[in-house]
Amino acid sequence: MQEVIIHNLDQSQISPIKAYYCSSFLCRLRGLTFRRRLHPDRGLLLVQNRETRLDAAIHMLFVWMDLVVIWINSSYEVVDVRLARSWRPIYLPRRSASYVLELNVARLNDFTIGDRIDIEKKVD
Mean pLDDT by 10 residues, the chain (124 residues): 93 92 83 81 94 94 94 98 95 98 96 97 69
| β-sheet with 17-22: strand ranges across | 78-84, 67-72, 97-103, 42-52, 17-22, 3-8, 117-121
Distances in whole angstroms, Cα of residue 72 to Cα of each of 16, 35, 37, 64, 102: 16, 23, 23, 24, 11
Overall pTM > 0.85: yes
Domain ranges of the chain: 3-108
Rounded Cα gap, residues 69 and 83, in angstroms: 6
Task: Domain 3-108: state its class.
Answer: mainly beta
